[in-house]
């Protein structure tokens, strides 16, 4: 960990601002358009790089340590039991934004605005991103899940992620979440992933009940 002054530190390529409770992670756009996505960000050349919007220049351990330094604690988290778990994870909330500079203009969008949903390519409503801290994989010699899988921020309730979308996106509908070509810069463009601790904490919850079927009288 390299001190930068002013309560700022560098872990690998990540800049940690403890005073602002914010981390900034460099990376690039990986997939846009029709590519089916399950992750907002994974490590560069990670196992899940084929289904991520962004590749980040950080390991799972570096990403996790940076978040711990701004106040996140996995003891306060409830992780999914498995990938595609319908139950909502609980824990501390992170605000996530993506920032880039193109042709001299800097633009910032929310994580949800960087993605689109369904065949109509609708914009996503605002949601909560929860720190879950990833898991230790005893079956893999105690390796850290986010290092082994390379997953940093996801939205299909993967317990190997460090941060997860609380409600989940596209679970059971593979291919329904894609990158927003109207807002995001082209694939390969340099971006920064910015996570800020909001101070909010939410409890875990059961999956939403399916909509009731309309009854018909005869």
Give me the pLDDT at residue 218, please: 46
**pLDDT tens by residue, 119-171:** 667 888 889 999 999 998 877 677 899 999 999 999 999 999 999 999 999 99
CA atoms within 13 A on the CB side of 62: 21
pLDDT, average across residues 17-38? 95
Q: What percentage of residues in the chain have a pLDDT greater than 70?
A: 94
**Would the pLDDT of 215 be above 70?**
no
What ranges do the domains of the chain cover?
Answer: 2-202
Give me the pLDDT at residue 123, please: 82
- Within 10 angstroms of residue 166's Cβ, the number of other Cβ atoms is 19
Locus of tokens 């193109």: 102
Give me the pLDDT at residue 206, please: 86
CA 198/CA 92 separation, integer angstroms: 8
**pLDDT tens by residue, 5-18:** 999 999 999 999 99
Give me the pLDDT at residue 214, please: 52
Give me the pLDDT at residue 158, please: 97
**pLDDT tens by residue, 95-124:** 999 999 988 999 999 999 999 998 667 888
Three-state SS letters, the chain: CEEEECCEEEECCEEEECCCCEEEEEEEECCCCCCCCCEEEEECCCCCHHHEEEEECCCHHHHHHHHHHCCCCHHHCECCCCCCCCCECEEEEEEEEEEEEECCEEEEEECCCCEEECCCCEECCCCCEEECCCCEEHHHCCEEHHHHHCEEEECCCCCCCCEEECCCCCCCCCCCEEECCCCCCCCCCEEEEEEEEEEEEECCECCCCCCCCCCCCC
Q: Nearest 10 degrees: CA dihedral of 191, 196, 200, 202? A: 40
């Amino acid at each position: 960990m390299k001190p930068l002054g002013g309560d700022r530190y560098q872990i690998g390529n990540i800049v940690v601002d403890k005073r602002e409770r914010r981390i900034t992670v460099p990376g690039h756009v990986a997939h846009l358009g029709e590519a089916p996505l399950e992750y907002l960000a994974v490590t560069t050349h990670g196992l899940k790089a084929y289904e991520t919007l962004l590749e980040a220049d950080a390991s799972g351990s570096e990403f996790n340590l940076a978040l711990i330094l701004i106040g996140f604690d996995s003891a306060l988290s409830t992780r999914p039991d498995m990938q595609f778990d319908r139950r909502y994870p609980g824990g501390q909330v992170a605000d996530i934004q993506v920032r880039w500079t193109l042709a001299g203009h800097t633009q910032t969008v929310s994580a949800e605005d960087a993605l689109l949903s369904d065949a109509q390519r609708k914009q996503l409503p605002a949601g909560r991103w929860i720190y879950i801290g990833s898991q230790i994989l005893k079956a893999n010699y105690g390796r850290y899940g986010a290092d082994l899988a390379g997953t940093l921020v996801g939205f299909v309730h993967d317990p190997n992620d460090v941060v997860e979308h609380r409600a989940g996106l596209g679970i059971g509908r593979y291919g329904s979440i894609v990158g927003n070509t109207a807002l995001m810069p082209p694939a390969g463009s340099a971006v920064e992933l910015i996570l800020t601790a909001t101070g909010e904490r939410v409890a875990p919850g059961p999956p939403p009940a399916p909509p009731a079927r309309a009854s018909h009288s005869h």
